[in-house]
Amino acid sequence: MREITVRYRENRESRKTQKIVASLNRNIQGIEDVTGGKHPSKLFCLWGRQIGKLMGEAWRPTRMSIRIRRIIHPLFTLLGKRILTNPQVIENRIHLKSQAMVKLDKEIILSNEPVIFCVNHRFTDDALGSVCAVPRHAYILFGSLPMFFNTVDGISAWLNGVILCNRKVAASRRTAAENAVRLLQMGGNLFIFPEGVWNKTPSRLMLDYWPGVYRIAKATGAKVVPVVHYIRNTDDPSPENVLYTVVDEPLRLDDLSEKDALSLLRDTMATWYYLMMERYGQTTRQELLEGFSSSDEAWESYLAMHTGKIPYYDKEIETTADYRPKSTVLAQNVYGPIADIQTITPENARAVADAIRIVGQACRLDFQRRF
């Protein structure tokens, strides 16, 4: 009898899942887009069909929805500070630049016009930490569908206000950009994570930025406010492991070229990240390499543990959706055609073998596209 009951429930959930997927069919390529290849959660079955309407071409942010979320924002922020995994400190930028300076930080003055909050992307709580750090309400441009549909992070994002985007579908990307522009034109504010995915590189302060932040700013005239987070250990929930955040002065980007604007924004945010890393991230090589033969091995182990802890981690997006400008030349691009040569002769054997070795090593060390 128990087996029959379990089987009935499974069949019911399966039918419900199929109906939800069918209702989303114009905005997803398959169920993997919203589950990340995992079994759909009970939350997905409960609210997937209704919340999936946010991805529809007919959905638009409204003045009423913006007004309601502004009203509940103080309560949302208060609760957010309580559920952040780590305590958060808003940095004094003057003191961060020079410990000898003990002046109060200059207050960030935002005009009444809407702004885009531009945030770096390295850990689970960076969206919630941003909501708690900035001085006004903003919608979140959200592109991790498995997390949105299957976890409480999705509920939190929806309560805050969200523009949903399936990055695998061109029409969804276009609609999300149009909704972002519409939101700003109606007086709302927006969070954007221009790196697109978590920065999983061992040495780059920031990934290259997708140009969407510039194009939206250009279309609306909105200024861009850098929001930069640093936390020493993304997997340590102890009170001593503090989340440090810089909220910087608004930048005017719409009067610059796309290349110059993205360079200015990225350099500004990377500088703040470096200053916080220098101040709070001090450690020793011995501590970092404990139990490992090399820094690459240690970093690989850390990423495997870190990403493995995330429920409904969207690995397909995370390993493909970082922005790589056409001007970027990788070892894979240079040596790949040689490594792919099928006809081996005495004259090319050495070159092909070397190319295979170089490409293999480059792919192994491309942590951004592996995890």
Instruction: Please give the helix or strand (H or E) that residue 243 lies within, else none.
Output: strand 243-247
Do 120 and 242 share a domain, yes or no? Answer: yes
The predicted pLDDT at position 24 comes to 85
Claim: this prediction has a pTM higher than 0.85: yes
Count of domains for the chain: 3
Token couple for 109: 């003055």
Do 211 and 356 share a domain, yes or no? Answer: no
The predicted pLDDT at position 286 comes to 86
Token couple for 187: 């007086």
**DSSP letter for each residue of 135-169:** SS--EEEE--HHHHHHSHHHHHHHHH-EEE--TT-
At 49-71, the pLDDT tens digits run 888 889 888 899 999 999 999 99
Q: What 3-state class would DSSP assign to 245?
A: strand
Please report, in tens digits, the pLDDT of each residue of the chain (371 residues total): 566 555 556 566 788 888 888 888 788 999 999 999 999 999 999 999 888 889 888 899 999 999 999 999 999 999 999 999 999 999 999 889 887 666 677 777 788 899 999 999 998 899 999 999 999 999 999 999 999 999 999 999 999 999 999 999 999 999 999 999 999 999 999 999 999 999 999 999 999 999 999 999 999 999 999 999 999 988 889 999 999 999 999 999 999 999 999 999 999 999 999 999 999 987 888 888 888 999 999 999 999 999 998 989 999 999 999 999 988 999 999 999 999 999 999 999 999 999 999 999 999 999 999 99
Do 271 and 350 share a domain, yes or no? Answer: no
- Closest listed residue to residue 24, CA positions, set 3, 51, 63, 1: 51
The domain of 355 spans: 329-371
Do 184 and 262 share a domain, yes or no? Answer: yes
Q: What sign for the dihedral angle of Cα 168, 315, 208, 141? A: positive
Contacts of 138 (CB under 8 A, 6+ apart): 115, 117, 131, 161, 188, 189, 190, 191
Residue 312 contacts residue 151 (beta carbons within 8 Å): yes
Q: Flag whether 18 is in a domain.
A: yes
Q: How far apart are CA 163 and CA 143, in angstroms?
A: 9
Token couple for 331: 């070892």
Do 165 and 217 share a domain, yes or no? Answer: yes
The predicted pLDDT at position 11 comes to 65
CATH number reported for the structural domain that contains residue 139 in this entry: 3.40.1130.10
Do 78 and 49 share a domain, yes or no? Answer: no
Do 138 and 270 share a domain, yes or no? Answer: yes
- How many CB atoms lie under 10 A from the CB of residue 318? 21
Q: How far apart are CA 232 and CA 288, in angstroms?
A: 12
Q: How far apart are CA 158 and CA 67, in angstroms?
A: 14
The predicted pLDDT at position 333 comes to 93
Do 275 and 257 share a domain, yes or no? Answer: yes
Q: Flag whether 302 is in a domain.
A: no
Do 33 and 143 share a domain, yes or no? Answer: no
What's the burial of 270, exposed, middle or buried (CB within 10 Å: 0-12/13-18/19+)? middle
Contacts of 239 (CB under 8 A, 6+ apart): 86, 87
Q: How far apart are CA 65 and CA 105, in angstroms?
A: 34
What's the burial of 144, exposed, middle or buried (CB within 10 Å: 0-12/13-18/19+)? buried
Q: Flag whether 42 is in a domain.
A: yes
Token couple for 287: 């501590």
The predicted pLDDT at position 234 comes to 87
